[in-house]
Structure 1
Amino acid sequence: MPTLLQPDSVDLSALIRPGDTVLWGQANAEPLPLTAALMVQRQRIGRFRVMLGIANSATCRPEHADCIDFLAYCGAGANRELANAGVLDILPCHYSQLPEMIRSGALRIDVLLLQLAPADGNGRYSLSLAHEYLLPALDSARVVIAEVNQQAPRTYGERTLGADDIDFILHSDRAPLENPPSRIREADAQIAWHIAGLVEDGATLQMGIGAIPDAVLGALADHHDLGVHSGSLGDGVARLMQSGAITNARKSLDRGVSVGGILLGSRLLHDFAHDNPAILLRSTAYTHDPDVLASQERLVAINSAVEVDLSGQVNSEVAAGGYIGAVGGALDFLRGARRSHGGLPIIALPSTAGSASRIVARLSGPVTIPRSEAGLIVTEHGVADLRGLSLRQRLRAMLDIAHPTHRASLEEQFARHG
C-alpha cells in the first residue's frame, strides 16, 4: 500500500536523491502541490535533474537552476523563460522516440510525479489528463509519487493504476490547470478556411497545438463524421464532438472513439472528458506509431512551423535565436499522413511575423523537417502542394503563398544564393 503524505508536511528530500532525474505530467497534468514542494526543497535534496514537457505553470524558475538541471523536449510555455535565461537544455528528438528512450534507460527517469483522478469503485486510479510518455516512466521509475486530485477528470485510458503501482499519495482538491483560449487572428482564420476546404467528410484529424489548429477545428463545424487521432485533444475537439461533426464513425481504427495522448484545454474539455468513453487516452507508443498512423485512412495531419524555406524545409524550433518550439511529433504525423490512403500532410503558418516573412530563402534555425518530407504548405495566401514537385517548381509554388510584399525579394535572394 502507498504511504500517505500530509499536505502540510510533504518531505520530498527523503525520497529524491542527488543525481536523480524527476519527470511529471506536462501542461495541465502537472501535479502542482508536488512540483511546488520540489522547488522549495531543492537545496535539501542536492543537485538533481528535471525533465520537462510543455510548462503551463510558473513552477520552474531560472533561479531554481542553483540546484536543478533543467532538460526539456520543447521550449513551449514557461520553458521559454528558462531558455532565455540560458538554464534549459534541449533534448532534440522526435516525440515518437521518447517511450523507447525512457524504457531503455537512455533517458533515465528515477522519480515520477503524477496527477491522478480519485479511485473508482474497484480501487483503480485514472491517469486523468495525460498518458503519453508517462506509461514507460511508470515501469522504470524507482519512486512513483501521486497527487490524487478530487477535481481531476476521470478519463478512459490505456492503463489504470492500482495501489501497488504507487509508492506515495498526496490528496488534494483543486481545479487543474487550464489552457487559455487561443487568440485567432485574421490570417489564422484564412488559413483555416483553406485547410477546411481540403478536408473530406469522414477524414481523421491530427492537430498540433496553437491558434491555427484551433481555428481549423472551428472551420470544420459543417463537416460530417470526422475522426480524431492526435497527440493532444483540445476544446475544439470537445465542441465538434458535442455538435456531432466529430463522430469517429468512419475511422479505420478505434471506431467511435477520439484518441489522444493528453488533454490540452479548459474546464469545458475536462468536464466533457470526465467518465466519457468516447475519448480514449493512449501512450505515445500508440498515438505516434507509424504503422497505426498509416492504417488510418484519410489521416489529415495539421501542424505549424516557425518558418519554411522555398524548397520546403521546415524550422519548428528556433525563432530570433530563441528556442520556442520542438522537434516534437510533427514529422511523425506528416510521415503517417503521407502513408495513409488519402492522407494529407499539412504544415500551416501565417506568411509573416510582424514585418518579417516566414517564407524564407534560407532558414534561420535548424531543419526540423527536411524538404524530402514536404507535403502541403498553407498560408493565408493559399496552398502549395509540394508533393512531386522539383526544386524549380517548388520555388514558384512557395512564392505564390508568400506575402506579396516579400515575393520579389525572396526570389532575388534565392537567385543570389542559388
Structure 2
Amino acid sequence: MTQPEVFAAAEQCVDAVLDRVGKRIVLGLPLGIGKANQFANALYTRAEQDEEISLTIYTALTLERPSGGSELQRRFVQPLLDRLYSDYQDLAYNQARRKGLLPKNVEVCEFFMQPGSFLSNPTAQQSYVSANYTHVPRDLLDRGVNVIAQMVSPAGDDSGDLSLSSNPDLTLPLLAQARERDYSHIVMVGEVNPRLPFVGGDARVRDSLFDFLLRGESCEREIFPAPNPPVRLTDYALAFHIAGVIKDGGTLQIGIGALGDAICHVLNLRQVENADYRDILQSLHEDRDHQLSQLPLELDRFEKGLYGASEMVPEGFLHLRRSGVMTREVFADATLQKLLNENACAPVVTEELLLALRDAGRIQCPLTEADTGFLQRAGIVDPSYSWRGHRFLDKHGELEECDLHSRAGRQKLLGSQEGKKLPGGTWLHGGFYLGSSAMYEALRQMPESEMAGINMTAIDYINELQKGRALKIAQRQYARFVNSAMMVTLNGAVVSDGLEDAQVVSGVGGQYNFVAQAHELPGARSVIAVASTRHTGGRVRSNIVWQYPHCTIPRHLRDMVVTEYGIADLRGKTDRDVIVAMLCIADSRFQAELLDKAKSAGKVESDYTIPEAFCNNTPERIHAVFAQGHRRRLLPYYPLGTDLTREEAQLAVALKAVKEEGRKIWELWPILRKGLMACKSSAPEYRDVHACLERMAFGTSDTFEHRLEAYVVAGALVRFVDTNRPLGEVADARGIRANLPEA
C-alpha cells in the first residue's frame, strides 16, 4: 500500500494537489465540522490569485463564527468569539460568498445551508443544489469531483490508522460508488487534528486511503462548538407528545436543536421521573377519545431500551445512554437480529444461541466453512479453531467434529466464548455529529468499550433501505423518525426547507428519506414536529396553513404531525379526515379562518364544528399545564447544559424573545417600562438583571440610544426569563463546565 505524502504547510499540500490533478478542481468538503479548513482556505486563496484555476466547491452546512448584525447582537457575541471561537478559522470562501465577492473562477454549491443564514443572498441562492442527502455521492461523481479534503483524527495506538470521525457519511459511499463506476482516481487530502474525537467502526480507515496528509500545529485546533439553544415550553409540549409515541424496544432518529434537546430530556424524565412524566403527558393530552390517533400513549419506563439510527447524532443521545434509555443493541446479521427480537435467544454466547441459529436455517449441521466464518466473526465459536473439511483443527492440532447434536460437541465449539456477552452490538448508527464542546469532550473521554457501540457510517446505511434491506428491517423495530418543519398544510404537505418566493432556508437533507423509510418499515412512523405558531415582525402567524406554493414532503407521504396541542395521525385517512385532524391541533386563534377555507373548498361539510376538547388550543393552556406544582422545575432551559455562562444563558432567552416581539418602540413599550424599573432598582430580585447588563457592557453606556437598549434587555430579562425554571448546567467565565452528568 502506498503511504500518503505528509506536509506541514497547507500551501505545499495545495502545490501537490495542483501537480496531481491540474487546474480544474471539483472539491468535495464534508458537511459540518469535518471540513479541512486550512487546506480549503489555502486552495481558495490560490484560486483568487490565479484565475486559470477553475475551482468548484461542493459541500453543505458551512459553519461560521457568530456575528452581530445589530449593536445588541454585537455586545452579546463579542465575548463568545473571544472565549469559544478564538481557535476557529472561518472558511474564506464563505466570507466572500456572503459579501458577493467570489471570483468568477470559483463556484460554491451547497445542498444544505446553515438555516436562514443566506436568505436574500443571490450568490448562495443561485448555487444551491436541491438534493436528497443520499443522492449527493452520485451528484458529486456526475459533477466530476476529483479532490476530497477532510479533517481526520489520528489513532492513539501505533497503527497509523485515521478516523473519519464526524463525517464518514458521504466519504464512504462516494468512494464505494467511484469503485463501482470504475471512476478515475479521486485525490484524498486528510487534515489531521488530534482534537477531533477518534471514532472507530466504519469510520476507522488506513492512512493509505489518503494521498496527502496535512499535519502540524496549524491543524491542531478546537472543534467548532454549537452551543445548545434554550428550550421553550412549546418545545417541551411537543416533546411530551412525541415521547408518548416512542415504544420501548424501538428505534429513534432526531435532529439537532432545541426540540431534539427537549425530546431527549423528556425521554430521560420518562425513565428516571416516571410519575412526573405520566402526570404532565396526561395533562397535555386532550385526545382522550382517540379522535385523532389510535396509538396508545407510551407511559412506562424503558426495559428493552432504544437503538439510535440517526443521520445527525445529537448530544442528547449520550445523555440517554447514561440514563439507561439508549441501551438496545443491534447486530450485523438479519437472522440473529430476528431471533433476538423474538426473544428466541439472549445476546449471550450459549448452546441455546447455537441451536436457535441452526433451527432458523442460518447455520448447518455439521458446520460448513462459511458457517464457521460467520460464527467466529460473530464471537460465538472459539476463535482458535480453524475449519478442516467438516472438522475443526484446535489449538493443540487435534481434529474435532463440527457437531451440534451433542452437548459436549456444542460446548467444545463455544470453547472460551461460552457465557460471554455477544460482541459486536451497536447502540447507535450515525452519519455525522455536531454539538457543544462538552459533547466533543465526552466523545474524547469515552472508554473504548463504550465507543465500540457507536458506528459512524455511510449515510445510505442510515437513510435508506435499498442495501441490506432485510438486516435494516430486523434492526429498526418500531422506528420513530422525528423531523421538524416550518409549516404544514391542512392537507398534510410539509414545508421544511424553503419559502414561497423560492428562497432556500436550509435544505431537504435526509427528511424525505426518513419519511419514505417510515412508510416502508413495518411498525415505523414518520413524526413531523411543528410549533403551531410563529412570531414574525411582532405578529403571531399560524404554521398550520390552508395551502403553500412550495413543499418539502408531498401530502401523499403524510403520516404523523405533532404540535404543542397534540398528535394528528394522518396515515391512510381521507382528505376530509386529514383536514379535521389538522384543525384540531392548530392554534385556536386561527381555527375558524382555516375551517372556513376548508368548507369553501368543499373539503369539509358545511355544518362541521371543531370538537370542544380542541377549542382551547392556546399558549395560556400550555403554560397553565406546566405551571402546576413543581413541573417547571423539571424543565430547564438548557436540559443538556450549555457552553454559555449563567448570564449569557439568560440573555439568550431574553434576546430571542425581544427579536420576536418586534422592533418598533411602541411594540417594545411594555418591555421598556419593566426594564426602566429594573435598572433603577437595587432590590435583590434584580441582581441577575444587573449581572446580565454588566455582561453586555451597559455599565458605561451614556448615550440615550444605549440606555434604551439597556432598558429593553433588562425588561426582556424580567418578562421572559422564568425564574421558576432552572437554567441547567452552565459554563464558568472560562467556558468550562463539568462532564455530562450521571443519571
Report the TM-score, using the length of structure 1 for normalisation.
0.91
Letter in 2 for 1:357: S
CA distance in 2: counterparts of 1:116 and 1:383, whole angstroms: 42
In structure 1, which of residues 286, 301, 310 is the aligned counterpart of residue 490 of structure 2? 310
Pairwise CA distance, 1:392: 0.7
Is structure 2 residue 418 aligned with structure 1 residue 413? Answer: no
1:339 equivalent in alignment to 2:520: yes
Which digits, 9 at most, give the CA deviation of each residue in 1:367-416, with x for residues without a partner? 21111111100011111000121001111111111111111112223344
Match in the other structure for 1:257: 427
Aligned length: 414
For the Cα contact (< 8 Å) 1:112–1:143, is it kept in 2?
Answer: yes
Q: Could you tell me which of 514, 531, 550 is aligned with 1:350?
A: 531
Match of 2:144 in 1: 108
1:215 is paired with a residue whose SS is helix
| 1:12 Cα offset (Å) | 2.1
1:301 aligns with 2:497: no
Out of 139-148 and 393-402, give the one that drifted further: 139-148
What CA deviation, in whole Å up to 9, does each residue of 1:261-285 have, x standing for no partner? 1112123322333441121101012
- AA of the residue aligned to 1:193: F
- Residue aligned with 2:488, SS: strand
Contact 1:151 1:173 in 2 (8 A): yes
Residue 48 (structure 2) aligns with: 43
Secondary structure at 1:228 match in 2? strand
1:255 to partner: Cα distance? 4.3
1:20 to 2:25 alignment: yes
Work out whether residues 306 and 316 of structure 1, in 8 Å CA contact, stay in contact via their aligned partners in 2: yes
How do 1:179-258 residues align onto structure 2 when only pairs under 5 Å count?
A: 179-221=226-268, 222=271, 223-224=301-302, 225-249=305-329, 252=337, 255-258=425-428
Q: CA deviation at 1:157?
A: 2.8
Q: Which residue of 2 aligns with 1:325?
A: 506
TM-superposed deviation, 1:310? 0.5
1:367-378 to structure 2, matched below 5 A, reads 367-378=551-562
Distance 1:415 1:84, change over 3 A: farther
1:155 aligns with 2:199: yes
Quote the Cα distance in structure 1 between the aligned partners of 2:244 and 2:207.
49
Q: Retained in 2: the 8 A contact 1:55–1:76?
A: yes
Quote the Cα distance in structure 2 between the aligned partners of 1:85 and 1:8.
Answer: 31
Taking structure 1 as reference, are residues 199 and 154 closer, same or farther at Cα in structure 2, changes over 3 Å only?
same
Alpha-carbon displacement from aligned partner over 1:229-283 (angstroms, at most 9, x marks no partner): 1101011011111222111247858844211011121233223334411211010
Q: Which residue identity does 2:523 align to in structure 1? A: G
Query: SS of 2:240's equivalent?
Result: helix
Q: Which runs of 5+ in 2 are unaligned?
A: 65-89, 179-184, 272-300, 332-336, 339-423, 603-743
**Whole-Å Cα distance in 1 between the matches of residues 472 and 492 of structure 2?**
22
Does structure 1 residue 56 correspond to structure 2 residue 240?
no
Give deviations 1:349-373, integer Å, cap 9, x for gaps.
11112112111111142x2111111
Structure 2 distance, partners of 1:84, 1:183, is 28
Q: Under a length normalisation based on structure 2, what TM-score does the superposition of the two structures give?
A: 0.53
Paired with 1:209 and 1:268, the residues of 2 have a C-alpha distance of 15
1:146 deviates by 0.9
Structure 1 gaps, min length 5: none
> Offset at 1:14?
5.4
- Amino acid in structure 1 at the alignment position of 2:151: Q
Q: Secondary structure at the match of 1:154?
A: coil
After alignment, is 124-133 or 320-329 more displaced? 320-329
> Which deviates more from structure 2 when the two are superposed, residues 198-207 or residues 153-162?
153-162
Q: Which of 227-236 and 7-16 deviates more? A: 7-16
For 1:144, what is the secondary structure of its paired residue?
strand
Q: Which amino acid aligns with 2:118?
A: E
**What do residues 17-54 of structure 1 show as CA deviations (whole Å, max 9, x unaligned)?**
44421111211212222223233333135332111211
Inter-partner Cα distance in structure 1 for 2:34 and 2:258: 21
Alignment partner for residue 95 of structure 1, among 127, 133, 138? 133
Q: Could you list the per-position Cα deviations for residues 141-192 of structure 1 after superposition, in whole angstroms to 9, with x for gaps in the alignment? A: 6321111102111102314332322111111221111222023212111100
User: Which residue of the other structure, out of 575, 582, 590, is the alignment partner of 1:398?
Assistant: 582
Instruction: Name the structure 1 match of 2:455.
Output: 280
In the TM superposition, what whole-angstrom CA distance separates every residue of 1:117-147 from its partner, at most 9, and x where no partner exists?
Answer: 1144222111121111111344646321111
**2:9: which partner in 1?**
7
> Distance in 2 between the 1:402 and 1:293 partners?
35
- Structure 2 distance, partners of 1:99, 1:294, is 24
Return the match for 1:388 from 543, 558, 572: 572
Which is strand-richer, 1 or 2?
Answer: 1
Q: Which residue of 2 aligns with 1:125?
A: 162
Kept in 2, the 8 Å contact 1:80–1:323? The answer is: no
Deviation at 1:347, TM superposition (A): 0.3
Q: Rate the CA distance shift 1:82–1:71 in 2: closer, same or farther, 3 A.
A: farther
Aligned letter for 1:286? Y
Counterpart of 2:492, as a letter, is: G
* Cα-Cα RMSD: 2.4
Which is richer in helix?
A: 2
Match of 2:403 in 1: none
Preserved CA contact (<8 Å) 1:75 1:83: no
Q: Distance in 1 between matches of 2:515 and 2:35?
A: 28
Instruction: Give deviations 1:260-315, integer Å, cap 9, x for gaps.
Output: 01112123322333441121101012111223654411111000112110110111
CA distance in 2, matches of 1:85, 1:180: 29
1:289 aligned residue = 464
* Segment of structure 1 superposing worse, 299-308 or 158-167: 158-167
Q: 1:361 aligns with which of 546, 562, 576?
A: 546
Percent identity, aligned pairs only, is: 26
Query: Greater Rg, structure 1 or structure 2?
Result: 2
Deviation at 1:333, TM superposition (A): 1.3
- 3-state DSSP class of the match of 2:113? coil
Q: Aligned to 1:239, what secondary structure does the other structure show? A: helix
Give me the whole-angstrom Cα distance separating, in 2, the residues matched to 1:149 and 1:364: 45
Letter in 1 for 2:146: D
In structure 2, distance between residues paired with 1:124 and 1:352: 50
